[in-house]
Amino acid sequence: MRKKLVLAYVDSLRTDMLAAAVRDGRAPTFGRLLERGVLVPDCVSSFPSVTPVACAEMVTGVRSDRHWISGMNWYHRLERRYVEYGSSFEATRAFGVFRSLYDLVYNMNLAHLNPRVETVFETLDDRGLRTACTPFLIYRGRHRHAVSLDGLMRRAVDATRLKFRHHTYGPTELFYGELYASRPVPCKPTSIPGTRDEYSACCVTELAAGGLYDFLLFSLPDNDHYSHRHGPAATADSIERADQAFRQFVDASGGLDGFLADNALILVADHAQTAVHRALPIAEELGETWHVLQPSEDRPEDAELAVSPTARAAHVYRLGPADARGHAKLREAVGGMQGVDLVCWLADSDGRPVDRNLPGARGDLTAVVEREDQALRFRPGGEVADQRGRRWELDGDPAALDAEVEGGRFASDEYPDALGRLWAALSSPHAGDVVVSAAVGYECVDWGGSAHVGGGSHGSLGRGDSLGPLLFVGCGPESAGEREQWALGDVADVVRGHFAA
């Protein structure tokens, strides 16, 4: 008999911090699972390595060039506005709480996520399986769910007389805090960051007691909030609480032996975090030379640039007439900022910057990445293979990505799966004309004026933000060496394969 499958997701979990929490006896449940499973310690995240992009990759199996989610903040060229998914409370207020709420909860799934790409929920729903999900950014499925406003959210809606009427489509069982609940549960929903693991654990305990799932995505997001505030080196406390939440689920399933008798498990992080020491005010600095579009600006047609900080990465969009000289001036300005590591863009077959405001095919494209005085151009095809088996045509200096090419093999320890991740990010329909990855220790200031200086963050192409644990118990590979390099998109393949006829 095929086992049920649980995909447990711990936001911003670092492999070294998980190992330390297990070693110190603070994560005993995770420790016992590690003993019974296959651990990939260096699963590669998306780029930008931020939660919306990573979660979309995790449950669709494709990257942002195909799933279309580009960051925590991005510019919508057709609607001439920013999309803000909640970089900070201050950024949410800058764009309007309910505008951001619609984008985060409703539009992300039903408008921004590519409708031609299936989520694992949709795949399994179509096979007649019972799917379930606790609060997770990408939840799109085949089942219609009515709004069930509760708690602080209901009081906020009542106070402002605004209406959030949108029903949504998700898995069979969907629990999304104060907005959606597919059935009554004795669990207190919350919209306060850092208090969501307990609610999620309560919901899955009810699902376990009722035998209400074949596939369950169990989301434990609080570690991310704790790491942002206190830094990744301090996350033993939040990992311990995530372990306790998971143990609550295990206990409701008959203990660990009973749980594993009925369930296979995938435990995964969407990305890691690194310490932040300095802020990178990219929008402010560009605003000294160009008219940068502001949140909720009355005349967006007057702006020359849109700037989308997305934690330790950023998109910069040219809004006016395109010309190579202006693009070069913009790249020079961005590349000269203290705290910028990589400057990336797309060029056409003649080496000119692509005008991303023009619709339709753009011909043969080449990605370009610069780091200081080093530059590398690349595109799919050619004789050089990366660690995931894709082939590339290269021109320039691989040192721009701290890489080596030996025996027709491209590898960069500092920037994992650099070519594939950059190509996807630059080819996404909502990507900026220039995409930035921040240097170690820097985070871009968001549109609310916030950065996690003194804490931790993520988003860059660098290994510190990009590598997290991926654990298989009762499913997936027999050894981590079955693939030379694992990435988040492989999770969806394993989920679908587990339920294949």
pLDDT at residue 452 greater than cutoff 70: yes
Q: Does residue 136 contact residue 222 with C-beta atoms inside 8 Å? A: no
The residue with greater pLDDT, 161 or 48, is 48
The mean pLDDT value for 216-239 works out to: 97
DSSP string, 121-146: HHHHHHTT--EEESS-S----SEEE-
pLDDT of residue 501: 61
Cβ partners under 8 Å of residue 95, min gap 6: 82, 84, 295, 296, 447
Sign of the C-alpha dihedral computed for residues 173, 175, 181 and 184 taken in this order: positive
Report how far residue 444's alpha carbon sits from residue 229's, in angstroms, rounded to the nearest whole number: 16
pLDDT at residue 377 greater than cutoff 70: yes
Q: Give yes or no for a cis peptide into 48 (omega within 30° of 0).
A: yes
* DSSP state letter for 401: G
Q: Sort strands 173-176 and 131-133 into parallel, antiparallel or unpaired.
A: parallel
DSSP string, 53-72: HHHHHHHHSS-HHHH----S
User: Is pTM, for the whole model, over 0.85?
Assistant: yes
pLDDT of residue 160: 42
pLDDT of residue 157: 47
Q: Sort strands 263-268 and 4-10 into parallel, antiparallel or unpaired.
A: parallel
pLDDT of residue 164: 56
The mean pLDDT value for 458-465 works out to: 98
pLDDT at residue 202 greater than cutoff 90: yes
Q: How confident is the model at residue 363 (pLDDT cuts 50, 70, 90)?
A: low
Q: Does residue 63 contact residue 490 with C-beta atoms inside 8 Å? A: no
Q: How confident is the model at residue 159 (pLDDT cuts 50, 70, 90)?
A: very low
pLDDT at residue 158 greater than cutoff 50: no
The residue whose two tokens read 């399986």 is 129
Q: What percent of the chain has pLDDT over 70?
A: 95
pLDDT at residue 149 greater than cutoff 70: no
pLDDT at residue 365 greater than cutoff 70: yes
Report how far residue 462's alpha carbon sits from residue 474's, in angstroms, rounded to the nearest whole number: 31
The mean pLDDT value for 199-219 works out to: 97
108-128 pLDDT tens trace: 999 999 999 999 999 999 999
Secondary structure of residue 7 in the 3-state scheme: strand
287-307 pLDDT tens trace: 999 999 999 888 888 999 999
Q: Does residue 167 contact residue 135 with C-beta atoms inside 8 Å? A: no
* DSSP state letter for 2: P
Range of lowest pLDDT (17-21, 57-61, 296-300, 367-371) = 296-300
Q: Sort strands 263-268 and 409-412 into parallel, antiparallel or unpaired.
A: unpaired
68-95 pLDDT tens trace: 999 999 999 999 999 999 999 999 999 9
For residue 251, the one-letter residue type is D
pLDDT of residue 161: 42
3-state SS, 317-367, equals EECCCCCHHHHHHHHHHHHCCCCEEEEEEEECCCCCECCCCCCCCCCCCEE
Output b/e per residue, 371-382; b: 16+ Cβ within 10 A: beeeebbbbeee
Spatial CA neighbour of 10 closest among 171, 187, 197? 197
pLDDT at residue 151 greater than cutoff 60: no
Report how far residue 235's alpha carbon sits from residue 13's, in angstroms, rounded to the nearest whole number: 9
Q: Does residue 270 contact residue 488 with C-beta atoms inside 8 Å? A: yes
Range of lowest pLDDT (37-51, 128-142, 154-168, 374-388) = 154-168
Cβ partners under 8 Å of residue 403, min gap 6: 410, 411, 412, 415, 418
pLDDT at residue 361 greater than cutoff 70: no
What is the chain's percent helix, strand, coil content, to nearest 5?
A: 35, 25, 40
Q: Give the CA diameter of the chain.
A: 66
Q: Does residue 14 contact residue 468 with C-beta atoms inside 8 Å? A: yes
pLDDT of residue 97: 87
pLDDT of residue 193: 78
Sort 32 into a burial class: Cβ within 10 Å, 0-12 / 13-18 / 19+: middle
The mean pLDDT value for 130-150 works out to: 91
CATH topology of domain 4-66+117-139+203-275+462-498: Alkaline Phosphatase, subunit A (3.40.720)
Which tokens in the block code for residue 49? 């390595």
DSSP string, 418-469: HHHHHHHHHHSTT--SEEEEEPTTEEE--TTS---TTSEE--SSSHHHHEEE
CATH 3.40.720.10, the chain: domain bounds: 4-66+117-139+203-275+462-498
> How high is the mean pLDDT of the chain?
94
Cα 14 to Cα 223, 274, 463, distances in angstroms: 10, 9, 11
pLDDT of residue 300: 87
pLDDT at residue 470 greater than cutoff 70: yes
Report how far residue 476's alpha carbon sits from residue 495's, in angstroms, rounded to the nearest whole number: 8
DSSP string, 185-254: -S-----STT-HHHHHHHHHHHHHHHT--SEEEEEE-HHHHHHHHH-GGGTHHHHHHHHHHHHHHHHHTT
The mean pLDDT value for 189-215 works out to: 92
Strand-pair partners of 169:
144
Which tokens in the block code for residue 377? 């151009």
pLDDT of residue 322: 75
Sort 1 into a burial class: Cβ within 10 Å, 0-12 / 13-18 / 19+: exposed
266-295 pLDDT tens trace: 999 999 999 999 999 999 999 999 999 999
